A and B are shown apart, each in its own frame.
Chain A
Amino acid sequence: MSQFIYKKPKQLQEAFSIMKENPAYSIIAGGTDLMVKMKDNRITAKVIIDVSELNDLREIKEKQGTIYLGAAVTHTEICKSELLRGFAPALVHASGLVGSPQIRNRGTVGGNIGNASPAADTIPALMAYGAEIVLASAEGVRSLALEDFFVGPGRTVISPGEVILSIEFNKLQATQAVSFEKLGKRKALAISVVNAAAFLEIDKTKAVVTKARLALGSVAAKPIRVSAAEEALIGYSLSDDKIKEVAKIVSDSITPIDDVRSEALYRKRIAGVLTQRTLIDAWKQLV
C-alpha cells in the first residue's frame, strides 16, 4: 500500500473543498472495498477523504412517503432500522446477506453502490424499489435513477467533486411488494453468483400485475433490469406458466460470463430460478 494523507471533514462543504484541492482523492466510508484495492495497489490515491461521519450521509428517515437513506448508513444499521424493516424488508434482507457481520458493521450502502460491483447485493434490491441516487457537489445536488448510475464494473457516472449523498425511494403501498434472493457459494463472505429482486404492484380486485420491476446482479457488466420480462407480467395473474415464461425470458436475455466463481450457463439457469422465487415471494406477500 502506498502512503496517503487521511482527511476527515466535519461538514459536507469541507469535503468538497478537500476534493477540489486534491484531485487525486478517494472517498472512504467503511473501507471494506477500498482498503482491499489499496492493499493490492489497484487504487493509489494520495488523499483519502473519510465521509463516514458526515451527518448528511448518516440519516435514515421518511418524509411524505419517501424513504431517505444516507450513503454512509451501514448494512448493520439498515438491518436494525425499524423503518426499513417495516417498509423495505427486501433491502434489509439484501443488506443482511452482504459479506459477514464484520463487513456489515463497517460497509455502507453508498459504498456498496459506489464500488459498482456487478454482484453487489443491495443494488438489485434498491433497483426493485425504484430507488434514485442523489449526488452532491459544491455546485448542488442532482439525482438519477439508480440503474442509470452504473457504466461497468467499478465504473459509474459520478463526476470528480461529487459524493453519493443518499438513496431515495417511495414507501411501498399495500398493493406493492418486493422480494430479494441471492445465490452464493457459502453462507457468509460469498460474493453473489447471481442475485435478483422483483417488485410487483397488483390490482387487488382483478389480481393482476399492474407494474413490475425485475433487477439482477452478477449476470452482466453492471446490475440490470430485464424490461422484456417486466412487460410480460403486466396485466397477468401469476400462474405457474406465467412464472416459467418470465423466468425463461430472463434466462434467455442475459449473457453472463464464466469466471472464478461460476459458469455462464449456470448463471443463466440460476437467474431464472431466482426470478421465479422472488416473483412467487412478492406475489405471496400481496394475495
Chain B
Amino acid sequence: MEELSVVGKSVIRKDALDKVLGKTRYSADIKMPGMLYVKVLRSTVPHALVQKIDVTVAKALAGVAAVLTADDVPGLNGHGIIIKDEPVLVKDKIRKIGDPLAVVAAETEEIAIQALKHIVVELEELPAVFDAVEAMQDDSPKVHGKSNILAVRKIFKGEIDEAFAAADIVVENVYYTQMQEHSYIEPEAGIAYMDGNQVVIKASTQNTHFDCREVARNLGVPQSRIRMIQAPTGGGFGGKLDVSVQIYLALLAMKTRKPVRLVYSREESIIASTKRHPCRIRYRTAADKQGKLLAVDVEAIADTGAYASYGPAPVTRLAVHATGPYEVPNVRIYAYTVYTNNPTAGAMRGFGVPQAAFAYEQQMDMIAERVGISPLAVRMINSLKKGSKMATGQMIPSGPGISSTLLPAYDKAIQTKALAGYEPSVKKRGYGLGCMFFGVGNTGQPNPAGAFLDLLDDGSANLMVGAADIGQGSNTILAQIVAEELGMDFEDVQVTSADTGVTPDGGATSASRQTYISGNATLLAAKEVKQLLLAEAAALFGVAQDKIVLKNRQVMVVGQESKDGISIKQLITVCRSKGKMTLGHGWFNPSTTALDDETGQGEPYEAYSFGSQVVEVEVDTETGVVEVLNLYAAHDVGQAINPLHVQAQIEGGSIMGLGYGLYEDMKKVEGKIKTSSFATYLIPTSLDIPSIQAIIVEDKADTGPFGAKGLGETSLVPTAAAIANAVYDAVGIRIKSLPITPEKVLRALEETR
C-alpha cells in the first residue's frame, strides 16, 4: 500500500496554539457594544399547572428591555431532537424543576436577576413521579399524554424460551446505573444580534444546522433568516446537542434589535441540561457447559426524565448493543424509554452502551466462573467477528471482533503484573476485563454530512464543513484528509466549520460519526477536485489520468517523479486560465436499514468499532475504597488519522468511564438535583487518574476514509464494567449498581464476612 503523507501523522491540531495561549474566544468571551444580559426564570417545582405568569412589574423596572413568556414565542414553542415535546417557555404545564417560565433581557446582569424576582408565577402543583418503574404503572401521574412509556425498542432473534430450557447454565441479575452529568468545562453560553433581517447566533453547540431549524421553527421564520455559528466550544459529550440558549437569544435579539448575551452558571447548566439515562437492566444469560452463549433475555427501563430529547435513540442503541460484542443465537430485548418528572436524560458519550456493558460484562464473568474457564476465554470463544450475526441479524462487515484489542490489552496487563511487587495487606488487588463494540453513526437512520472544498489559486484551500469541532479535533482530522488526498501540506487547508451561513449540514457531532461520515464527505469533495486536476494534468503531460500523482504540493507523472513536474499551484493557474474553477463538494450517508418496529431486525450501522480494557484495582477492605491502579485500553479505530488525537480520546473516554464507575452520581430528591456543583458532583481529578496505556489497533474499514472508523465514545463504554469485574477479582463481591462507592463495597464486604 502507498505510504501516507499526512493521514496517520500526529500533526499539531489547528486550535492548539490559540487555546494554550488563552486567545480562543469561547461563547462567553464574546461581547458586543450595547449588548443586553439575559436571564431565565426556572421552575422550582417538578410538576404543576401554570395558572398565570405576571411580568408587569418586571417589565417596568428601569433597565429592563424585554420580558418574554410563552405568549411571546411566535412559532411552535416546542423543541426536541426527536419529538418537539419541550416548550421554549412553559405555557400551561411544568414537568420538571428547571423548566423555563420566562426570559428577561436587561442592561446589566444584576437588573436581569432583579427582574426575575419580580415575576409572579401562580401555579397548581400536581402529584409527580420520580421512578421510571413506577411511571410505567397505569395509575402513575402522567408527564405527557396518557402513558409515560415514550418508546419501546424490541429485538427478537431465534427461539429464546427453547434456548433457556436447553441451557446448562443460566445467570440472571438486575443492574442499576446512575444519572451522569457531562461535566464539560464550558457551561452553555451564546450571543445573538441582528444583521439586517437575519438573526446571527453564536453559541456553544454540537450541531448548528439542527439549532438553526429549531430556532426558525420557534421564531416562525425561514431557516435562511437564521445564521447559526458555532463558537469555539469547550466540550459537549452529547450535552450540547439539545438547544440551550439559542432560541431565547434569537427571540430577544428580534424583539430588542440589540445584541443579547446569555451565559449559564455551572449550577444552571447542571439543572437545565440533559444527563445520561439512569437504567434498571434485568439481564438473563444462557450458556452451554463450554461457556458458549445460547441466549440473552434483557429488559431495560431507562428514565428519560421530563422530555424526550434524544431519549429513544440511546435506549435503542442500548438494545442493539445489549448482547455486547458477542455472538448470541437467541435474543429477546425490551428496552423502554420512560417519562418521569426528573431532569431530562438525553445523549451522552456512549449513548446507552455503557449501561449495557455494565450488565453484559459482569454476566460474562459469571458465566466463565460457572463453567470454570477464565474471563479471557469466555470472551474469546463468544466474540463476534466478520460474518457473524449480531442481535439485529446484521452480519459484522469486517474484522476479527474483540480479539485484536483484547489480546494486546491483556498481554500488557500480564507483563506489568509480573513486574509489580505487591505485599498482601488490608488492600487487595484484582484485574477485570471489559469489552465492547459500537456502531458508528446514528442507529438505522439517515444521517448524512456534507463538505465544500475550494482550492484557491495560490495552492491553498478552504474546506467548509457542518461538522462542529467541540474539542475532539474534527477540523484537524478533516484537513488531514484533504491534504492527503490532494498532495497538499496540512497547513495549506483552512477549515471553516459549523456555520449555517457558509457550510453544508454536517449533522450532529455525536454517535462517533464525524471522522467517518464528515470524513467521507470531505474525501468525496477532495476527490471531485482531484478529478478536475487529474484531467487537466493528464492533458498537459499527454499521459493517462491514472499516471498522475499529487504529492508534496507537486504534480508528477508516475515513473518520472525525479523529473521536474509542476506545482499544484501552477496546475490551478492552468485551470483558471481556461475559466475552470477548482471547487468540490461531497456528501455521505452511511448505508443502513431501519430496525423493524416489531422484531428489531435490520442493519443499523455500516461500520463497527471494537475495544477492550483491562483494569487493575486495589480495594481497601476496611474502608471499601476502590482505587484503579492501571488501565490498559486497546481500541480499534480502523485507521488512526491522527494517532495523538486517538490516544487523547482513549485517555479521555477512559477517565470519564472511571468517573462513571467510581465517583459520579447526580443525586436527586423528588426531582431536585442535590449535586448541582462540582463541590458535590465528583468527577476524577488529575490525581485520581491511574496510569493509562492506550493501545491503538487498526483493523481498517473498507467504507471509512482511509479505513478510519469512529472513536469518540468507545473508550468510555467498557471502563466501569471492567472495574466492577476487577473488584470481584480482588475481593469476591459483585457490585451491581453504579457508581461503585466505598459505602456499597464495605456493605457488601460486611455481608460476606
Contacts and interface: CB of A to CB of B under 8 A. Distances in A.
B746 interface: yes
B682 A185 contact: yes
Given A260-B674, A263-B743, A266-B743, A183 B685 contact: no
Interface stretch (A47-55, A142-150, A160-168, A188-196): A188-196
Given A186-B685, A260-B674, A191 B679 contact: yes
Contacts of B624: 266
B622 interface: yes
B110 to A, nearest CB: 9
A186 B746 contact: no
Interface in B652-680: 663, 667, 674-675, 678-680
B623 A183 contact: yes
A66 to B, nearest CB: 35
A185 B741 CA distance: 9
Given A191-B679, A266-B743, A186 B623 contact: no
B508 to A, nearest CB: 32
A210 interface: no
Given A266-B743, A270-B623, A273-B622, A187 B674 contact: no
B746 A187 contact: no
Interface in B59-103: none
Contacts of A190: 682
Given A183-B625, A189-B685, 14 more contacts: A36-B679, A100-B685, A185-B682, A185-B741, A186-B685, A186-B688, A187-B688, A188-B686, A189-B678, A190-B682, A261-B680, A263-B743, A266-B742, A269-B746
Interface string A91-107: 00000000010000000
Nearest first, the 5 closest Cβ-Cβ pairs linking A and B are A187-B687, A188-B685, A266-B743, A273-B622, A188-B687
Contacts of A189: 678-679, 685
A262 interface: yes
A263 B663 CA distance: 15
Q: Size class of B's contact patch?
A: 20 to 34
A96 to B, nearest CB: 12
Nearest to A274: B623
Given A190-B682, A261-B680, A266-B743, A273 B623 contact: yes
Contacts of B678: 189
Contact of B743 (A36, A191, A260, A262): A262
Interface in B672-728: 674-675, 678-680, 682, 684-688
Contact of B685 (A187, A193, A266, A269): A187
B657 to A, nearest CB: 15
Nearest to B624: A266
A263 B744 CA distance: 10
Interface residues of A, number: 19
Interface string A35-56: 0100000000000000000000
A100 B682 CA distance: 14
Interface of B: 622-625, 663, 667, 674-675, 678-680, 682, 684-688, 741-743, 746
Nearest to A267: B743
Nearest to A100: B685
| Majority-rule SS of B interface residues | loop
A64 to B, nearest CB: 40
14 contacts: A36-B679, A183-B742, A185-B663, A186-B682, A186-B685, A186-B687, A187-B687, A188-B685, A188-B687, A189-B678, A189-B679, A191-B679, A260-B667, A262-B743
A210 B663 CA distance: 42
Interface centre among B667, B686, B743 (most CB of A within 10 A): B743
Nearest to B674: A260
Contacts of A185: 663, 682, 741-742
Contacts of B667: 260
A190 B684 CA distance: 10
B743 A186 contact: no
Interface string A67-101: 00000000000000000000000000000000010
A183 B686 CA distance: 18
B428 to A, nearest CB: 15
Contact of B680 (A36, A183, A260, A270): A260
A239 B680 CA distance: 39
B742 to A, nearest CB: 7
A186 B675 contact: no
Contact of B746 (A100, A260, A261, A266): A266
A100 B688 CA distance: 12
Given A100-B685, A260-B680, A270-B623, A186 B742 contact: no
Interface in A227-270: 260-263, 266, 269-270
B522 to A, nearest CB: 41
Contact of A186 (B622, B663, B674, B680): B663
B185 to A, nearest CB: 15
A36 B624 CA distance: 31
Interface in A180-230: 183, 185-191, 193
A188 B675 CA distance: 17
Nearest to B739: A185
A170 to B, nearest CB: 32
Contacts of A100: 685
Contacts of B680: 260-261
Contacts of A191: 679
A263 to B, nearest CB: 5
Contacts of B688: 186-188
A273 B625 CA distance: 12
B660 to A, nearest CB: 14
Contacts of A270: 623
A179 to B, nearest CB: 16
A106 to B, nearest CB: 16
Given A186-B663, A273-B623, A260 B675 contact: yes
Contacts of B679: 36, 189, 191
Nearest to B684: A186
A183 B684 CA distance: 16
A183 B622 CA distance: 12
A269 B682 CA distance: 22
Contacts of B687: 186-188
A226 to B, nearest CB: 19
Contacts of A183: 623, 625, 742
Contacts of B746: 266, 269
A266 B688 CA distance: 22
Contacts of A36: 679
Contacts of B663: 185-186
B132 to A, nearest CB: 22
A261 B663 CA distance: 11
B70 to A, nearest CB: 29
Contacts of A187: 685, 687-688
A183 B625 CA distance: 9
A190 B679 CA distance: 8
